[in-house]
């Protein structure tokens, strides 16, 4: 084998290795990436009943694995979307609410989904007045592989409140 052929063979092996690594990223390097990977286990359809109304929530991984989208659809109501992404040491949740605003919430120190991941409000866009109804936080807990609890906090006209959802994974 000539030197040129050996060099081409080595370059081909390196290119295949680099391409394979790019397509199969290594184990997450940050706690937030680990938390986000845990959140991806939510992919699929979930159902809850809130105040007598059936609520369907569907999780989908999108954007080449860099975002987790939750579509929440109460019966006979418009859908809401919450996008989860990693930003450095935090996981960010941006909620696109039927109220027309978009609260952006972040995790503190990354947590474990089985113990609960808590997001707190950083900012909110789309509000017409400071008294508008808006979410201020969410805690998501995977109680077991088929049951999830969400605790949403909100602010409306200066008063804080909480809404709990108990979801069951659809088979």
pLDDT tens for 28-52 read: 478 899 999 999 999 999 999 999 9
What does residue 170 show for φ and ψ, rounded to 5 degrees?
A: -80, 140
At residue 5, the 3 state secondary structure works out as helix
> Which CATH code, of 3.40.50.970, 1.10.10.10, 2.40.128.20, 2.40.50.100, is assigned to 28-169?
2.40.128.20
Helix (H, G, I), strand (E, B) or coil at 69: strand
Q: Return the pLDDT at 77.
A: 93
Q: Which residues in the chain come in under a pLDDT of 50?
A: 4-22, 27-28
Q: What are phi and psi of 40, to 5 degrees?
A: -65, -20
Cβ atoms within 10 Å of 4's Cβ, excluding its own: 8
Contact 116, 140 (CB under 8 A): yes
Angstrom distance (rounded) from CA 122 to CA 145: 30
Cβ atoms of 134 and 127 within 8 Å: the answer is: yes
Report pLDDT digits (tens) over 125-136: 999 999 999 999
pTM of the model: 0.81
Q: Is 28 helix (H, G, I), strand (E, B) or coil?
A: coil
Q: Are 36 and 25 in contact (CB under 8 A)?
A: no
Domain ranges for the chain, please list them.
28-169
Residue 2's pLDDT is what? 63
pLDDT number for residue 3: 59
Sign of the C-alpha dihedral computed for residues 72, 135, 49 and 85 taken in this order: positive
pLDDT at 104: 98
Residue 70 to residues 9, 29, 62, 131, Cα–Cα distance (Å): 46, 24, 10, 26
């Amino acid at each position: 084998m000539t030197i040129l052929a050996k060099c081409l063979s080595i370059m081909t092996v390196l290119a295949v290795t680099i391409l394979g690594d790019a397509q199969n990223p290594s184990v997450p390097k940050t706690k937030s990436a680990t938390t986000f990977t845990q959140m991806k286990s939510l992919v699929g359809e979930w159902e809850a009943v809130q105040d007598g109304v059936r609520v369907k929530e569907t999780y989908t991984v999108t954007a080449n694995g860099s975002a987790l989208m939750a579509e929440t659809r109460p019966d006979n109501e418009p859908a809401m979307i919450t996008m989860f992404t990693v930003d450095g040491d935090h996981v960010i949740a941006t909620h696109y609410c039927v109220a027309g605003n978009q609260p952006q919430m972040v995790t503190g120190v990354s947590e474990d989904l089985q113990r609960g991941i808590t997001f707190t409000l950083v900012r909110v866009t789309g509000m017409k007045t400071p008294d508008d109804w808006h979410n201020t936080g969410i805690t998501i807990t995977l109680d077991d592989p088929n049951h999830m609890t969400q605790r949403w906090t909100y602010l409306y006209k200066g008063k804080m409140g909480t809404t709990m959802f108990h979801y069951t994974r659809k088979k």
